[in-house]
Structure 1
Amino acid sequence: MKIGSAELENRIFLAPMAGVTDMPFRVLCKEQGCGLVFTEMVSAKGMHYNDDKSTKLTLLDEKEKPGAVQIFGSEPEIMAEVAEKLDRSDAGIIDINMGCPAPKITKNGEGSALMKKPELVAKIVKAVSGATKKPVTVKIRKGWDDSLANAVEIAGIAEENGACAVTVHGRTREQYYSGKADWDIIKQVKRAVSIPVIGNGDVTGPEAAKRLFEETGCDAVMVGRGAQGNPWIFNQINKYLEEGIIIPAPTAEQKIQTIIRHMNMLIEYKGERTGILEMRSHIAWYIKGLRDAAYTKQKLFKLTNKEEIFNLLQSFLLRQENT
Structure 2
Amino acid sequence: MSNALYFMSQVLLPQSLHLDLPLTALAPMQDVTNLWFMKVINQYGSPDYFFTEYFRVNETSRLNPSILASITENDTSRPVFAQMMGESIPHLVKTAQELCGYNIAGVDLNMGCPAPRIYRKKAGGGLLLSPEKVDRILGELRQAVNDRPFTVKMRLGFENTDTFYQILDLINRHKIDLLSLHGRTVLDRYHGRVNYDLIAEAVRRVNCPVLANGNIYSAAQALSVLAQTGAAGVMVGRWAIGNPWIFEQIRQALRLEAIAPVPLIEVRKYIDRLWQTPAAPNIPERARVGYLKMFLNYIALSVDSEGVFLRLMRQTQTQAELFNLCDRFLVVDTTQTFALAPYSGV
Q: TM-score range by the shorter chain?
A: 0.7 to 0.9
**Following TM superposition, by how much is the alpha carbon of 1:143 offset from its aligned partner in structure 2, in angstroms?**
1.0
2:20 is the alignment partner of 1:8: no
User: In structure 2, how many angstroms separate the alpha carbons of the residues matched to 1:203 and 1:298?
Assistant: 24
Matched, 1:143 2:157: yes
1:262-277 paired onto structure 2 within 5 Å = 262-264=274-276, 266-267=277-278, 271-273=282-284, 277=290
CA contact (8 A) 2:181 2:212 kept: yes
Matched-pair contact (CA < 8 Å) for 1:47–1:55:
no
Task: Report runs of 4+ in structure 1 exceeding 4 Å deviation.
Answer: 50-60, 268-277, 307-312, 318-323
Of residues 1, 14, 37 in structure 2, which corresponds to 1:25? 37
Q: In the alignment, residue 141 of structure 2 is paired with which amino acid?
A: V
| Cα offsets for 1:286-318 (capped at 9, x unmatched) | 233435413542344x23x6x775555445544
Question: CA offset at residue 53 of structure 1?
Answer: 5.2
1:247–1:317 CA distance, 2 compared to 1 (3 A): closer
Q: 1:121 to 1:290 in 2, by over 3 A?
A: same
Of the structure 1 ranges 105-114 and 53-62, higher mean CA displacement relative to structure 2 is found in 53-62
Cα distance change on mapping 1:216 and 1:37 into 2, 3 Å: same
Aligned-pair distance for 1:319? Answer: 4.7
The answer to whether 1:62 aligns with 2:75 is yes
Write the distance in 2 (CA, Å) between the matches of 1:47 and 1:61: 27
- Give me the TM-score of the superposition, normalised by structure 1: 0.87
2:310 aligns with one of 294, 298, 303? 294
- Bigger shift: residues 307-316 or 14-23: 307-316
How large is the RMSD of aligned CA atoms in angstroms? 2.7
By percentage of residues, which structure has more helix?
1
Q: In the superposition, relative to structure 1, how do residues 56 and 241 fare at CA in structure 2: closer, same or farther (>3 Å)?
A: same
Change in Cα spacing, 1:62 to 1:161, as seen in structure 2 (3 Å) is same
CA–CA distance in structure 1, aligned partners of residues 181 and 281 of structure 2: 32
Match for residue 213 of structure 2? 200
Contact 2:71 2:80 in 1 (8 A): no
Say whether residues 1:282 and 2:295 are aligned partners.
Answer: yes
2:151 partner letter:
T
Classify 1:77/1:320 alpha carbon distance in 2 versus 1 (closer, same or farther; 3 Å).
farther
TM-score of the pair, normalised by structure 2: 0.82
Amino acid at match of 2:313: K
Gaps spanning 5+ residues in structure 1: where?
Answer: none
The AA in structure 1 aligned to 2:310 is A
Q: Distance in 2 between matches of 1:38 and 1:193?
A: 21
Contact 2:156-2:181 at 8 Å conserved across structures: yes
Equivalent runs, 1:106-255 vs 2, <5 Å:
106-132=119-145, 133-146=147-160, 148-248=161-261, 250-255=262-267
Query: How far apart, in 2, do the equivalents of 1:125 and 1:269 lie?
Result: 40
* Distance change (3 Å), C-alpha of 1:54 and 1:25: closer
Deviation, structure 1 residue 171: 0.7
Is the contact between residue 186 and residue 216 of structure 1 (CA under 8 Å) also seen in structure 2? yes
Distance across 1 between alignment mates of 2:281 and 2:164:
37
Q: Name the residue aligned to 1:260.
A: 272
AA aligned to 1:175 is D
- With over 3 angstroms needed to count, the CA separation of the structure-2 counterparts of 1:50 and 1:224, relative to structure 1, is closer
Letter in structure 1 aligned against 2:52: T
Residue identity opposite 2:149 in structure 1: P
Which deviations, in whole Å up to 9, do the C-alpha atoms of 1:61-83 show, x marking residues without a partner? 12153111211001111111111
Larger mean CA deviation between 238-247 and 46-55 belongs to 46-55
Sort the Cα spacing of 1:71 and 1:170 in 2 relative to 1 into closer, same or farther, 3 A.
same
SS of alignment partner, residue 47 of structure 2? coil
Alignment partner of 2:89 out of 71, 76, 91: 76
* CA displacement at 1:96 relative to structure 2: 0.6
Percent identity, aligned pairs only, is 25
Deviation at 1:255, TM superposition (A): 0.4
Matched residues in 2 for 1:124 and 1:62: separation?
A: 32
Q: Which structure 2 residue ranges, 5 or more long, are not aligned?
A: 337-346
Q: Distance in 2 between matches of 1:179 and 1:251?
A: 31
User: Which range moved further: 201-210 or 78-87?
Assistant: 201-210
The 3-state SS of whatever aligns with 2:255 is: helix
| Separation of aligned partners in 2, 1:236 and 1:121 | 37
Determine if contact 2:48/2:79 at 8 Å carries over to the other structure.
Answer: no
Q: How far 1:119 sits from its partner (Å)?
A: 1.6
- Taking the aligned partners of 1:221 and 1:321, their CA distance within structure 2 comes to 32
The letter of the residue matching 1:166 is L
